[in-house]
Amino acid sequence: MNAVILDKDNQLINAEVELPQLKSNEVKIKIIASALNPIDYQMRENEFERRYIFSPILGREGAGIVTDKGSDVSEYAIGDEVFFACGSMGSNGTYAAYIQLPAGLVAPKPKNISFEQAAALPTAGITALQVFDRAAINPQDHIFLTGASGGVGLFVLKLLLANGIKNIVATAGSMGSIEKLCQLGLQKDSIINYRNENLTEIIKLKSNQQGIDVAIDAVGQHLSEVAAAVLKPYGTYIDITHFTTAAARDQLFSSAAQIINISNFIHAQRLNYPYFKNGLDRIRHTIEQEIIQPAPIYLIGNLSPETIEKGHRILKNNQTQGNKLIIQNQ
């Protein structure tokens, strides 16, 4: 099959790759669309993230059509439209024409959206559901959300609003992103450009100087320090990135914060397929019932090294404008 692989020099190149023999618990999927995620380029640049590389074919989520299935698979038929989160648990990543993965990592595609829209949902949606489930947020809590227009941040925001949580202050980086957040129902004065020099003071004012109950950090680095500074004593800091600074960790320790680390890796490591299957089914339900709307997407091109390099640059330079970047694989 055609694929884009990462070579020994860390460059993306076209290659013909042979799939392994299909296992009894697996389905073979013709990938129609796949999504780009920050971890894709981070694995090429960051030693911590590089440990997650399991195949020279990167890519962690997509949508497509079942073309074959193992002898133990009864819940899917040839021709079924599905979406999936593969992480490091499939035959390869999604920068390819096909993928084989356990049926437990697959769910029927939401009927009311396209393959391209469905490909944008699994990673951000499953991560956001873990945030929401573990945060135990009360309706009266004051929330600070960084990276609200990013994939995970946007999904978290939609879950919060759908569940009646309104006291939210969020960061964004462009007018386009701010407009998208306003369209979801956030007040414009609750959305702050993360480059604002007075960011900490503004957030404190938004909470009536009482401090933030729950800080959900989807960015890290400098914004982890801002989140730590505005959190009230014994507040909850939710770390989605593993990019907190030493100064942020010192402040969080001093304020006796509860720290919740969000990661899907532990479930992948333990091959906890029900965790992923449950997440995908919940995502499908929220989309089909129109509880939340699918993420805005940007089609960056067909499967090629050039398209993927372009996407990685956009992600690295924070130029997505609140859109999920999608490749059309076929």
- Average per-residue pLDDT for the chain: 94
Over the stretch 20-51, which tens digit does the pLDDT of each residue have?
A: 999 999 999 999 999 999 888 988 887 666 66
The strand pairing partners of 146, in sequence order, are 217
Q: Which CATH entry fits the domain spanning 2-121+265-328: 3.90.180.10, 3.40.50.1820, 3.40.50.300, 3.30.1510.10? A: 3.90.180.10
Over the stretch 290-299, which tens digit does the pLDDT of each residue have?
A: 999 999 999 9
Lowest mean pLDDT segment, chosen from 45-54, 146-155, 276-285: 45-54
* Lookup: tokens for 66: 């079942």
Could you say which DSSP state residue 323 is in? Answer: P
Rg (CA), the chain: 20
Q: Tell me the backbone φ, ψ of residue 138, rounded to 5 degrees.
A: -95, 150
pLDDT at 176 (0 to 100)? 84
User: Which amino acid type is present at position 172?
Assistant: A
* Lookup: tokens for 280: 């995908």
* Lookup: tokens for 131: 């945030």
Q: If you average pLDDT over residues 209-218, what whole number do you get?
A: 93
C-alpha angle 155-291-105 in degrees, rounded to nearest 5: 60
In the chain, what are the domain boundaries? 2-121+265-328, 124-261
Q: If you average pLDDT over residues 287-316, what whole number do you get?
A: 96
Q: How many CB atoms lie within 10 A of CB 102?
A: 21
**Is the separation of the CB atoms in 124 and 264 below 8 Å?**
no
pLDDT at 8 (0 to 100)? 87
**Is the separation of the CB atoms in 43 and 58 below 8 Å?**
yes
Strands 81-85 and 106-108: antiparallel
**Is the separation of the CB atoms in 123 and 60 below 8 Å?**
yes
Over the stretch 60-81, which tens digit does the pLDDT of each residue have?
A: 999 999 999 999 999 999 999 9
Q: How many CB atoms lie within 10 A of CB 20?
A: 9
User: Which amino acid type is present at position 138?
Assistant: N
The strand pairing partners of 328, in sequence order, are 33, 302
* Lookup: tokens for 28: 């073979």
The strand pairing partners of 295, in sequence order, are none
What is the rounded distance in angstroms from the CA atom of residue 221 to the CA atom of residue 258? Answer: 19
124-261 topology per CATH: Rossmann fold (3.40.50)
What is the rounded distance in angstroms from the CA atom of residue 112 to the CA atom of residue 253? Answer: 46
What is the rounded distance in angstroms from the CA atom of residue 316 to the CA atom of residue 303? Answer: 19
Q: If you average pLDDT over residues 299-327, what whole number do you get?
A: 94
Q: Is the pLDDT of residue 224 over 90?
A: yes
pLDDT at 52 (0 to 100)? 67
What is the rounded distance in angstroms from the CA atom of residue 286 to the CA atom of residue 295? Answer: 12
Torsion sign across C-alpha atoms 46, 49, 52, 57 = negative
